[in-house]
Amino acid sequence: MVFVVRLITLFSEGLLQQFINGVGIVALMVALAIGFFRLSWWKSVLILTFIFGFGVEYLFEGWIKFSDKAESASERWPWMLLIYFFIVFVAYWTGRFGRRHLERRGKAAPPHLT
C-alpha cells in the first residue's frame, strides 16, 4: 500500500514538474488540437508521446525540481514516456469529446481532417 502511494505521489510530482516547466502544457495543447480535429488516435498519441518524451524533454532541462526522487525519475526515458503518454492520451480524448459536444449542441465546428 505504501508503495502504491509513493508511486502515485512520484507520478503526480512528475506531471506537475512538466506542466510548470512548460513542456507539458505544449504537449497538452498539441494533443487537444489533434483530438479536436479527429486525427487517428493511436498514431497521434504514440508519435506525440515519443516526440515529447524523448526529444523535447532532453532539449529543455527542467528548471523547477520538487524532490530528488522526482528529479532522478525524470532523467529516465521510460518514466518520461509514461508521463507524456498520460498527458497526451487524456488531452487527445478531451479534444475529441469537446468536438463531439460542440457538434451535438449544433455549434459550428471546423471540418475534421480524416
Report the alpha-carbon distance of residue 28 to residue 42 in Å, rounded.
16
Query: What pLDDT score was predicted for residue 100?
Result: 85
For the stretch 24-82, pLDDT in tens is 899 999 999 999 888 887 888 888 888 888 876 667 665 666 677 777 777 778 888 89
Residue 6 has pLDDT above 60, yes or no: yes
More confident residue, 10 or 111: 10
The letter for the amino acid at 114 is: T
End-to-end alpha carbon distance in the chain = 45
Environment class of 86 (CB within 10 Å of its CB; exposed 0-12, middle 13-18, buried 19+): middle
Grid coordinates belonging to 23: 513542456
pLDDT at residue 65, as a whole number: 67
In angstroms, the CA 113 to CA 39 distance is 7
Q: What is the pLDDT of residue 63?
A: 61
Give the C-alpha distances (Å, rounded to integers) separating 93 from 8, 40, 54, 86. Answer: 22, 11, 22, 11
